[in-house]
A and B are shown apart, each in its own frame.
Chain A
Amino acid sequence: MKRLILPAISLLLLSCGSNPLFLRLGSDYYPVASIGSIWEYQVQGGGSVIVEVIDQTVMGDRSCYRLQSGAGYSYWINSEGSLEHYEDHTVLFNGYEVPVYQAWVTYLDWPLAVGSSFADSASTFSVSQGVTISHVWERITSVAEIGTAAGYTDCYHLAQTETTIDWIQTGGFSPETTIVVRDIWLAPDVGMVLKATPDSVLTLQSYTPGY
């Protein structure tokens, strides 16, 4: 009898290990669809950043939620199993911000799982003041692990690399490549709790859900 009971108890104890798969499946890892939600981040080295879902609007012919951070806005749709972001890319030329790429792009597909990856890219050009400006953009996001960040458990750690190559095709300019590497931690029903780039670290200080 002991031979049966001990493995059974071991199995039950193993099942108590911290791996709440169904909690993760049932959570919203990017809750941008609640107007009034506020995330307050502390910036390493001083200062803070406040992000707020301010309203619902239409962008690119689609209904979406608008988030404000300082003087900047970003636009998000979180529905039908995916999170989409409105990409609005511009290139500075002769003192003007020339729009080169505007589109809704899938940012993440739900549910997340360790080892999954998402890649988005665009290759386009625009003509401004008689000059062709080419724009190549790629963003690769992979889910690196599940862990704890900023005091929140069951976070998905995203490793993201965004590469942009802008080329103003006239004399005196050469292709300009920008590579941004980010590490982002998303917590269940909270959203981004930590974002680290080589230049800055944002850590969530408080989160107030909207309605």
Chain B
Amino acid sequence: MIPAAALCIALLGGLPPLEAGVSVGPVFPVGDWGQYLDTGVEARVSLQLVPLRRVRAGLAFSMDIYGDGGRGDASVTMLSPEATASFFLRPGARVFNPGLEAGFGMTRSRLESGGGDDPATWDPSWRAGPRWDFSAGNGYRGAVGFDFRGVLAEGSSADSFGLVFRISKEVAR
């Protein structure tokens, strides 16, 4: 809803500033689905419009990879295109700009193990978590935070917890 509203504002009032970001961080599976998996790593690229000073909205694409937690060679790969939105309390603040970020999209999950692979599955997914945004100098913004996330799959959801380290920059005004 927020990305759609941001798009409407953008179309009505001209294109607002556009921010590009990259984030990485470890992700930890929560629940039985991760019983044979190790800590994973996530990378995300995002493009967000800034229609209001405190609001950003846009699209993101992330990839999560979990390795084997035992002696085998299993891995789970998740690819997630999503709509994102974020709200910050003190935009532009140099050292402390707290906020919240959320995303909703679809996740393609694939298991490989022992030289085989299970059929991939597409499921709705979400994530949400707090951010501590700050200036990183030269027009860059940094942010740290964490996400709770879930893949709303049939039979059992795949929940996880992830740390987020992001760098972003306004690329168009």
Contact = CB atoms under 8 A, between A and B. Distances in A.
Interface of A: 11-12, 14-27, 80-82, 109-118, 143, 146, 154
B3 to A, nearest CB: 13
A115 B111 CA distance: 11
Contacts of B71: 80-82, 109
B156 A20 contact: yes
A15 B116 contact: no
A23 B68 CA distance: 17
A115 B115 contact: yes
Interface string B132-173: 000000000000000000010111111000000000000000
Contacts of B72: 81-82, 109-110
B158 A117 contact: no
Nearest to B117: A113
13 contacts: A15-B124, A19-B154, A20-B154, A21-B119, A21-B120, A22-B33, A23-B154, A109-B70, A111-B74, A112-B114, A113-B111, A113-B112, A116-B114
B117 A80 contact: no
Contacts of A80: 70-71
A113 B155 contact: no
Contacts of B117: 113-115
Nearest to A14: B122
A12 B154 contact: no
Interface in B39-60: none
A113 B124 CA distance: 22
Contact of A113 (B113, B121, B151, B153): B113
A23 B155 contact: yes
B114 A117 contact: yes
B156 A23 contact: yes
A196 to B, nearest CB: 21
A15 B106 contact: yes
B115 A11 contact: no
Contact of B118 (A15, A18, A113, A117): A113
Contacts of B68: 81
Interface in B93-126: 106, 109, 111-124
B154 A112 contact: no
Contacts of B119: 19, 21, 114, 146
A22 B156 contact: yes
B92 interface: no
A111 B33 CA distance: 10
Contact of B121 (A19, A27, A116): A19
Contact of B109 (A12, A21, A113): A21
B111 A21 contact: yes
B76 A25 contact: yes
Contacts of B31: 26
